[in-house]
Structure 1
Amino acid sequence: MKLSYIILLSIAAIAYFYIQLWDDRLVTPQYLVLLFICTLYGRYKKDTNMTHIAGYIFVASSTTYIIFERGLINHVTPEENPLLQGIVIYGTQMAFSLITVCVLIFRVQLSRLISKSPQIQLTNFDGIFHWLFIYCSLIYLLAMLEHIAWTYFNMKSWTLIYDNFEGLIYISWALCSGGLLTMMICSPELKSNSQKRETS
């Protein structure tokens, strides 16, 4: 019960904070900072599982952020073709999200290739984060289909995902941030449980 209360409180607090800001120029850097802090905290606590989970999400999220912040997508999408532009934008986001899903599903195997730490094992948190990125991938897919309907089929009333896009993504970020904070809080307890299993 204690763990579930921590998770719910963390998610509710972060979701409220993100929605109050409602500006990706403010929310995205703060989300990336939290991912980076969690990665560093995992290194500090010598918790390889936490370090790798947070690190993989940080690398994927920061790469996507850099690509769009630097305007790299705009260089390959002609402004006179809004249909193609929308497909490339949402398609790129969906591709990175699906790559992250695969990385998180095979996190243990990938971590064992990178590190020889005997700590590497499945944790309770490994069953959480890939679902959040599956949800994001679905939002990107729906946004792309809605954009095609809006531009190609001239369905100008189809703007449900577009009008609520930030909020739908912030839900996932809040859940992810809440999970990361809970993982940081519970790290000593999870580590001690792991050590008990190894010695038994």
Structure 2
Amino acid sequence: MKLSNLILLSIASIAFFYIHLWDERLVAPLYLTMLGLCMTYAIYRKDVNIMHISGFIFILNVITHTVFEFGLINNITPTGNPLLQGTLIYGFQLVLSLLIVLVLIFRVQISRKISNSPNIHLTHFDGVFHWLYMYTSFIYLLGLLENVAWSYFEMKSWTFIYDNFEGFIYIAWALCSGALLTMMILSAREDGSEASHAS
């Protein structure tokens, strides 16, 4: 099977799997596990670029997951104020998603600040990840605006983002997982070809 077909198959499979589960309590830990496995692989292979890309995404997603897992936002907002609660929920996710975008755009510079490795460089995938999180930022912004319309302006029929929120986010997570998986596959192939040339 061609590498490009394998990549498309892996992305499609992950997307189908995430969307089929459709449960934040299952998909979020699976996504974090995938990011953790990428970091572990990168540490084992001493691939600082994969390690930092997956590590930055992992850390910021763990923060988001922890905040919602422990209900920190729900605990500090009154339940009778859906406008404030929705604004804080979507706003917090939007801010962290935009932070991931900035970190990924300046990933090489940040990596060079925290590591002295000579192998830090711009990869073909650095141009992919920040677009995925720009997409999630857009979904969070739409969710925020929809919540304002629903709760403040009483537009109760405006629930499109709310009704499909998980699916929109899972698509981005699946693409991110597929891209990281592709990075690992290419990294392993490059190591294998270098070993064969050396022998």
TM-score by length of 1: 0.93
1:76 positional shift: 2.4
Q: How is 1:135-146 mapped onto 2 (pairs within 5 angstroms)?
A: 135-146=135-146
Q: Which residue of 2 aligns with 1:27?
A: 27
Q: Which stretch of structure 1 is more off in the superposition, 136-145 or 6-15?
A: 6-15
Which amino acid is the alignment partner of residue 121 of structure 1?
Answer: H
- Give the Å deviation of 1:193: 9.0
Which residue matches 1:4? 4
Aligned to 2:96: 96
Runs of 4+ in 1 over 4 A off after TM superposition: 190-194
Q: Does 1:56 align with 2:74?
A: no
Letter in 2 for 1:45: R
Q: Match for residue 175 of structure 2? A: 175
Deviation, structure 1 residue 190 = 4.7
Q: What whole-Å deviation, never above 9, does each CA across 1:29-82 have from its counterpart, x for those lacking one?
A: 011000000001000000000000000000011110001111111232221211
- 1:25 & 1:14 partners in 2: Cα distance? 16
Identity over aligned pairs, percent: 62
| Kept in 2: contact 1:108–1:122 (CA 8 A) | yes
Bigger drift between 61-70 and 1-10 goes to 1-10
TM-score, length of structure 2 as denominator length? 0.93
1:156-175 paired onto structure 2 within 5 Å: 156-175=156-175
Shift of 1:2: 4.1
* DSSP 3-state at the match of 1:128: helix
Deviations 1:87-125 (A, max 9, x none): 000000000000000000000000001100000000001
Structure 1 stretches lacking a partner, 5+ long: 195-200
Q: CA deviation at 1:9?
A: 1.1
Residues 108-161 of structure 1 deviation map (CA, whole Å, 9 limit, x = unaligned): 000001100000000001010000000000000001101110111111111111
RMSD (Å), alpha carbons: 1.7
> Secondary structure at the residue paired with 2:32?
helix
